[in-house]
Every structure is written in C-alpha cells, then in structure tokens.
Structure 1
C-alpha cells in the first residue's frame, strides 16, 4: 500500500487526512526505519508494508469505535507506538498514555512524539502488571488498547484493570482471535468485562485476516488483579 493508497483507503472509510497528517505518517515511517537499525522495533520496514500492516491496521480500530471525542487511551505494550500513535495522528484530540517494558522503545517514542509535534502524550517504562496496580492510573482510562501483545486470557488481566467503568478494552488480533476469545472469556468475566462485539475483516492489498474485539467494562476489577509481573503469562486465569 503506497502512501497515496493509504490516504485514499482512509478516505473511503470517511477519514480525510490533512497535509500535516500525511506528513506526520511520512516522518513516522522514516524515523521507524532509521531507529530500527539500532533498536528492535519491527520486522517490517518496507514502506508499502509499513503503511498497510502497521499504519492502516492500527487505524482500523476507528472503523468500529468512535475516537472522535476527547477521550483518554492507554496503550499496553505499544512497542513502536502501535496502535496508539497512528490513532493519535488521525485524532489529535486524544489523550494518549503508552506503557512499555523496554526502555529503548520508550526513548524512541519520546523522540517520535517530539518529531511529530504531538501534545497530550505520556510514556511510561513499566510492566503492565505494575502499572495496573498504580492507584493514579487504575480504572482511569476511557479506552485501553493492545495489539499483538499476548493471548486474550493474559491480555485481559493486563488491560481490564486500567479501564474505567463503562469504558472499553479494544484488542486488535490476527487470525486466532475467535479461539483466543473462547479461552479468554472466564478471565474477561472475572475482571469485570463483557464481550460487546467482534469484527473480523481482511487488510486491503495483502488480505491477511484481522479481528477487533471490543470489551465493555461493566464492573470493577477485583483488587487482587493484575497479579505480580510474569504471573498472568505463566498461570493465565481459566
């Protein structure tokens, strides 16, 4: 997907990018490729692949949920800023918080935010388990997102404690989404969530399957979750 095809594809979905936004995506791509030589950010560095598999893929969340308001987003394990930075470029009014356990990635994101002239973004070098216990952030976000971080049973424990009541957790998944969701349902339920909807579609051009799972936060998460770092992955809630 060439940059101009990316712009056109979003236009067809009702998202019209300004010249500034188009330029921001261009800078994002250049910085990603440059920094990737010293920090492991992504295996995908070809321009057309980055535009479809990263930039377009991240913005698909906005096809199924309204990001047009002034809302707070927390992105868990964002790596090179996916999906929250592409969403922030498209919807500048968003208040974005990114949590990642690797200091080098946080350094890259701070640099990127400066280059893209983004305001209302905050980056935290922390484990999601510890961040979810922090009283300042716990149950305080309108939306919590995660893309390709862990399976649903684990991911729910990392993300749902951060979602405020009546907020949503949006998980962006590949082809295994439905199976993962089936296994993850007890964890979602226990942590105060309820599966609202699942949208499955193919990415344009390269046709790989994607799913967006939207989970509403109906009840408070029990205080004992998330458990200490490493435990959710080692012993997922069943």
Structure 2
C-alpha cells in the first residue's frame, strides 16, 4: 500500500514548471500548488481506488501531468482559441484536470462511467476549486445523445480509453463542426490508427496530423471535425467496442 504524501512534504515543482514552459505554458505558484494538491490526493486515494500505476512525484509529473499538457504544446493556437473541452473516459482526471489547471479560462466537462472515479473527480474539482468544470457519470455512448452536450465542444480529449476506431465513435459526436479531437496514443498504435480512418470519416472527421509528444513512444492523433455526426451515432452502449467500424461504408446504417 502506498502511503499518502505528508502535507508538509515539499515537492520539487521545478521540472513541471520548466517543461510546461517548453510547451508554451506558464504556470504560476497557485497553479503549481494545485498540481501538488492533485498529486497528494491522487496517491492517497490510489491505494483503494486503483487510479494510477505510477505514484512517485517525478513519474506522475512526466507520465500524467506533462503528457496531459502535451495537447496544448502540440496545438497552442487551437487550445487558446477554444472556449470549452470535454474529456471522455476521464478516469483519474487525465488529461482534463491538468488542462483545466493550466487553462482556467476554459470550461471543462469530465465524463466517466465508473461511479467511484466520478466521486474522485468531483472531489478533486471541489478541492482544487476548479470553476466551470462539470463531471458527468455516464457512458459516452449515452451522453453523446444528450442535446446539451452533443456537438457542443471546441475540443474533445481522450487518453488510454479504447482502440482508435472505438475512440472515434465515442469522441467525435461531442465535437463541434470546426472543432477538433485530440487523442493520446503510443507510437506503436500505427496499425490501429490506420484502421480507424473509416470510423473517423463516418463520424464526420478527418485526421489532420499525428504529432510525436513525450519522446519517441507517444503520439497525439489530431482529428478535425468537418461535418456533423449522423444522428444514429454513437451506437448503443457496448456496441462500438463489440462491433467497431472497421471498413464500414459511410452510406451504411449501423446496427443498433
């Protein structure tokens, strides 16, 4: 069991501050304090909730905080132009919470289907005093058909949630036409990305770029939303994973 870091323990934030600056993000002392509080709560709750496999401060900074902020480093103008974002399958809050800490002016929404993780997310939003940050307990397949959020976001994010063809169906319906989706993947996912072109097209998207982030092992798949997602997508819960849109013609109706 990992013990909770003591509140008085001083965490060295210099790397987080310097590497964020390399991404074009200037973090002030209040923001750095929020990252420290987030880390302490994450590690403390992890022993009973299995939120992360890495618990050391330096590892969390590299693998969670900076990786989450790589979206802004790769897409600086789009991030600053965005008014809102949604994080699908938010889990422990990555990348949504680091993005909200770094860009407090953005309105954010975190979506997760697991009740205990939703509880953690709500606790963190309150503890970190993240205003204009909502948490929804729902599956993406269901939430995407809610009029209040469907095609309502400038930026849709997801990290370590599902294979690319599934992610396309779960994220693009939330994105406005003219907005974009940014998906964290490993460089080894080239075949998976190639297999997702049809699903992306069906959902109204097109791959703009695949950007290397965090060294050679990680990439950010950037998808432009160029037309509205058909009303019958995403399909009902579980179907995108069971029957991913591999080679499905855009003219075909999905099986619900």
2:42 matches 1:32: yes
- Give yes or no for contact 1:2–1:51 (8 Å, CA) kept in 2: no
TM-score of the superposition, structure 2-length normalised? 0.88
**Equivalenced residues, count:** 234
Secondary structure of the residue aligned to 1:20 is helix
- Give yes or no for contact 1:70–1:95 (8 Å, CA) kept in 2: no
Residue 10 (structure 1) aligns with: 20
- Give yes or no for contact 1:3–1:48 (8 Å, CA) kept in 2: no
Residue 60 (structure 1) aligns with: 70
Structure 2 unmatched runs, 5+: 1-10, 247-256
Deviation, structure 1 residue 8: 1.0
**CA-to-aligned-CA distance 1:206-229 (integer Å, 9 cap, x gap):** x56110011011111111110010
Secondary structure of the residue aligned to 1:15 is coil
Give the 5 Å matches for 1:44-193: 44-65=54-75, 66-69=78-81, 71-193=83-205
- Give yes or no for contact 2:23–2:72 (8 Å, CA) kept in 1: no
- Give yes or no for contact 1:71–1:95 (8 Å, CA) kept in 2: yes
* Whole-angstrom CA distance in 2 between matches of 1:43 and 1:157: 27
* Whole-angstrom CA distance in 2 between matches of 1:173 and 1:71: 24
- Give yes or no for contact 2:23–2:70 (8 Å, CA) kept in 1: no
Structure 1 unmatched runs, 5+: none
**CA-to-aligned-CA distance 1:29-83 (integer Å, 9 cap, x gap):** 0000011122121111111110100001000000121322451101000101000
* Whole-angstrom CA distance in 1 between matches of 2:26 and 2:231: 42
* Whole-angstrom CA distance in 1 between matches of 2:47 and 2:57: 15
**CA-to-aligned-CA distance 1:137-158 (integer Å, 9 cap, x gap):** 1111111100010111000000
Residue 220 (structure 1) aligns with: 228
TM-score of the superposition, structure 1-length normalised? 0.94
* Whole-angstrom CA distance in 1 between matches of 2:144 and 2:64: 26
- Give yes or no for contact 1:192–1:221 (8 Å, CA) kept in 2: yes
Secondary structure of the residue aligned to 2:229 is coil
- Give yes or no for contact 1:41–1:79 (8 Å, CA) kept in 2: yes
- Give yes or no for contact 1:69–1:94 (8 Å, CA) kept in 2: no
